[in-house]
Chain A
Amino acid sequence: MDFRFDLIVHYLPVFLRGTLFTIGVSIVSILIGSVLGLGIGFGKMAPKAIYRWPFHLYINFFRGTPLYVQILIVHFGLIPAFYGTTNVLMTSFIALSLNSAAYSAEIFRAGIQSIDPGQREAALSLGMSKWQAMRFIILPQAIKRMVPAFGNEFIVLVKDSSLLALVAAPEIMFWSNTMKGQYLRIWEPYLTAALIYFVLTYSLSKLLNYIERKV
């Protein structure tokens, strides 16, 4: 089978822009997602069941429904409701952040609950407040345990951002589809996209290994 490298070279500049978009959206979304996720994770650990269930529902909704559909709901429902019209940049950040928050919340919860209760008791017995115990004793230990899981979540997020092509966000997959339409060829655009994602996620996992060794 012939493979048209000349077509890829022709599309390289836009693929590069798509890559920057993908990186940007992924980084912003993992950041917003983890901040939201921390709050939701704490919510899910609330002592009273009545306070827990909205967070429980949130997590289960976003983990239990396809991101594909979530993107459509955000793009055609949520954003127009608040902003008046659709906006692809907002959709990209918000859909991925909300989705990532659900997974982050579970990572936080699991990380925090993995810390021996004796650590908290020791901190409280020294007169620390619950907040001080969390901040000085539990979180520093829990975050260290969360790093690998967060790394995975970030890698999944980078790949999942490809679904944003659905609403014409100019990311890697979008340009790959554009190229496919022009030439009706499959392998050149898709393998190029796959290679870019691979380079991104592989570098990311190397970086995370480095961070894991450092913390």
Chain B
Amino acid sequence: MEPIINVRHLNKFFGNHQVLTDINVDIHSQEVVVVIGPSGSGKSTFLRCLNLLEQPQSGEIIIEGTSLMDKNTRINDIRTEVGMVFQQFNLFPHKTVIENIMLAPVQVRKWPADKARQKALELLQKVGLSDKAEVHPSSLSGGQSQRVAIARALAMEPKIMLFDEPTSALDPEMVGEVLAVMKDLAREGMTMVVVTHEMGFAREVGDRVLFMEQGVIVEEGKPEQLFGSPSHERTREFLSKVL
């Protein structure tokens, strides 16, 4: 089967500093890929290249058969199919929770408002926040904010979800509620790419784990294999620090 995401020879520089070197990855539909690695390893940059929040200098990214590097590709259309969840939630503070969720379906997908509202309410129920529809984000806890952010991304009915350290900014007691929503999502068959430090999540939910360091993918494999018997010294070193 064709991979839904196909990355070939991807290189990314910030100025003269190369942050991604020759990245090659295939991700298949319904697969959950977890990216781990020390901070500064380029894993977030890699994720942000997948919806062109970062522009790579060379290489190829093909999503559902469409090249992101092709100048004729309308990147906005790709982004409607690729949801993203940020470390800092990035909810829109001037809008209520339900407005946060409805905005893109109405403005981008051109849904009628009542359809978007229906969808938003469904998603709020799914993330367990039906009672928060009319409040502003400032009154939410970190965990609640991140669950709203996930609902907001899902409202566009994306085919792929990107998670950029979704629990790193959370107090420890709130990590669980966010991971629970993500696990549900994985069970429902969502294609997910997750950058995280939550090794438990990687082991439990991940179909495949990529270990990145200094801009290269050092090792990849099934969780039990990578965590159980890593084949690279650097992977072993990293895991010994975080586990």
Direct contact, A vs B (beta carbon within 8 Å): yes
How many residues from B make CB contacts under 8 Å with A?
A: 25
**Is B93 among interface residues, defined by CB-CB distance under 8 A?**
yes
| Chain A hits for B156, CB < 8 A | 126-127
| Chain A hits for B94, CB < 8 A | 140-141, 144
Chain B 51-85, CB-CB to A under 8 Å as 1, else 0, gives: 10100000000000000000000001101101110
**Is A119 among interface residues, defined by CB-CB distance under 8 A?**
yes
Contact between chains at B107 and A122 (CB < 8 Å): no
Q: Which residue of A lies closest to B106 (CB)?
A: A136
| Chain B hits for A126, CB < 8 A | 79-80, 83, 103-104, 108, 152-153, 156
A119-B90, A141-B94 known; A125 vs B84 contact (CB < 8 Å): yes
Contact between chains at B108 and A127 (CB < 8 Å): yes
**Is A7 among interface residues, defined by CB-CB distance under 8 A?**
no
| Chain A hits for B104, CB < 8 A | 123, 126-128
| Chain B hits for A121, CB < 8 A | 53, 84, 86, 90
**Is B92 among interface residues, defined by CB-CB distance under 8 A?**
yes
Contact between chains at B90 and A127 (CB < 8 Å): no
Q: Classify the interface of chain A: helix, strand, loop or mixed.
A: helix
**Is B88 among interface residues, defined by CB-CB distance under 8 A?**
yes
The smallest beta-carbon distance between A44 and chain B, in angstroms, is 22
Among A116, A124, A128, A132, the residue within 8 A (CB) of B53 is: A124
Q: Which residue of B lies closest to A125 (CB)?
A: B84
**Is A14 among interface residues, defined by CB-CB distance under 8 A?**
no
Q: List, sorted by A's number, 25 A–B pairs whose CB atoms are closer than 8 Å.
A: A116-B90, A118-B86, A118-B88, A118-B90, A121-B53, A122-B90, A122-B92, A122-B149, A123-B92, A124-B79, A125-B79, A125-B83, A126-B79, A126-B83, A126-B103, A126-B104, A126-B108, A127-B80, A127-B104, A127-B109, A127-B156, A136-B103, A140-B94, A141-B92, A141-B94
